Amino acid sequence: MAFISSGYNPAKPMENRITDIGPKHFEEFYPEVIKKNKGKWTHHEILEPGVLVHVSETGDEVYTVRCGGARLMSTTHINEICDIADKHCDGHLRFTTRNNIEFMVDSKDKVEPLKNDLKSRKFAGGSLKFPIGGTGAGITNIVHTQGWIHCHTPATDASGTVKSTMDALFDEFQNMRLPAHLRVSMACCLNMCGAVHCSDIAILGYHRKPPMLDHEYLDKLCEIPLAVAACPTAAIKPAKVTLANGTEVKSVEVKNERCMFCGNCYTMCPSMPLADTDGDGIVLMAGGKVSNRISDPKFSKVVVAFLPNEMPRWPSMTDAIKKMVNAYSNGANKYERLGDWAERIGWEKFFEVCELNFTHHLIDDFRQQAYMSWRQTTNFKF
């Protein structure tokens, strides 16, 4: 189809250029009831899973219906969201920090019609378009990353692992029967764009083979000193290599036994790819949190060193996750986050009740602070 100009003139890029205007002002987007009651909210209640009411000192109320969704979203789907908001919410809506959609109405009687509308919508394949839930002591949407949809470094897919996990945990999205919030996060490589390092349960894509070396092209495509410097374990050295055809080229050498498969070299140099069908897969972490409630925020711990990529639904992964969620649900006290529970019963019991294997991989050996994770006491359970 024909090129349509926006008005931009490539020959004079600075002509009429507008820059540095920032985002739209939020006030334009507030629903009326929000604008009016901002800073005046006195309390809230979760009426049922996915439905909240916030009450203002003015007497106003705002009812919020929260829906899950794939974060990967088509414009068609967004337009449908807009249709709903136009119909029920005076043309306003918001997204949460975990990629749920929130529809807000200013009186109770508008809630049921909205809910019914949302529940009625399904994709052709059968899945719900707008499942209501994600509030309170349950599981909400999974914060995640690009995976095979868009990134160059993933060791697994993001959207697929998330869909599989949310299907497996769906009841917990629509119920509030866990001891506390349980946040699941996903990142497809250890750049950890999903910030899985502080989640109750985290799914992480991980490589297990050192980079391949595309010697013929390496020096052409990469800056060798940058590649060498990129390696946190100093596994990479510059080297001269003789190709099959006899030519000698500048390249690098990798000390495989020092490699921890972080992919940092590949970030700096496309001639050092790590991806491998058998090598790549999933690490599961658990016990992290972000809130300061009762206990301090804490890092997630590696609880399953590796699971292979089992496309398209990663059953071993969802199994292990369900085991953790169930054991936690049965064992923890009200208000107790997964990591606090694991610490209370002891990690040795965690592995027992979650029926997970402990292997030497789970013992820290990275840098000196690894020491802090070893057990410096006789206080342990047999």
Partner 1 sequence: MAKHETPFLDQLESGPWPSFVSDMKQQAEVRAKNEAGVEFQIPQDCVDDLLGVVELSYKHGRTHWKHGGIVGVFGYGGGVIGRYCDQPSLFPGVEHFHTMRVNQPAGKYYSTEYLRSITKLWDLRGSGMTNMHGATGDIILLGTTTPQLEEVFWELTHNLGQDLGGSGSNLRTPADCLGTSRCEYSCYDTNSLVHFLTNEFQDELHRPAFPYKFKFKLDGCPNCCVASIARSDMSFIGTWKDDIKIDQDAVNKYIEQDPAYPSNAGAHKGRDWGPFDIQKEVINLCPTGCMKMVGKELKIDNANCTRCMHCINVMPRALKIGDVRGCSILCGAKAPILDGAQMGSLLVPFMEVNPDNDYEAITDLIENIWDWWMEEGKNRERLGELIMRQGFQKLLEVTGIEAVPQHVAYPRTNPYIFWREDEVPGGFERDVVEYRKHHLR
Residue from 260, 345, 353, 362 binding ligand SF4 (CB under 6 A): 260
**Per CB under 6 A, 159 contacts ligand SF4:** no
- 8 contact partners, CB below 8 Å, separation of at least 6: none
Taking the least distance from each CB to ligand SF4, the nearer of 87 and 150 is 150
Q: Give the closest residue to 188 by CA, choosing from 206, 174, 172.
A: 206
Instruction: Scan residues 235-264 and list those touching ligand SRM (CB under 6 A).
Output: none
Taking the least distance from each CB to ligand SRM, the nearer of 255 and 293 is 293
**Per CB under 6 A, 189 contacts ligand SF4:** yes
Q: Is residue 285 within 8 Å of residue 302, measured between CB atoms?
A: yes
The stretch near ligand SF4 (CB under 6 A) out of 56-64, 83-91, 105-113, 232-240 is: 232-240
Backbone φ and ψ of 371, nearest 5°:
-45, -40
For helices 111-120 and 75-88, the axis angle rounded to 10 degrees is 160
CA distance 345 to 353: 10
The stretch near ligand SRM (CB under 6 A) out of 2-10, 44-52, 167-175, 363-371 is: 44-52
Q: Is residue 184 within 8 Å of residue 142, measured between CB atoms?
A: yes
**Per CB under 6 A, 191 contacts ligand SF4:** yes
CA dihedral 340, 178, 97, 145 (to 10 degrees): 80
CA distance 317 to 260: 22
Residue from 16, 372, 374, 382 binding its own copies (CB under 8 A): 372
Q: Residue 255 binds what, of partner 1, ligand SF4, ligand SRM, none (CB under 5 to 8 Å, by partner type)?
A: none
Beta strands in 267-371 (DSSP E): 281-286, 301-308
**Per CB under 6 A, 93 contacts ligand SF4:** no
CA distance 317 to 168: 10
Q: Residue 353 binds what, of partner 1, ligand SF4, ligand SRM, none (CB under 5 to 8 Å, by partner type)?
A: none
Instruction: Scan residues 301-340 and list those touching ligand SRM (CB under 6 A).
Output: 337
- Minimum distance from residue 346 beta carbon to ligand SF4 (Å): 11
The stretch near ligand SRM (CB under 6 A) out of 21-29, 73-81, 95-103, 363-371 is: 95-103
**Per CB under 6 A, 72 contacts ligand SRM:** no
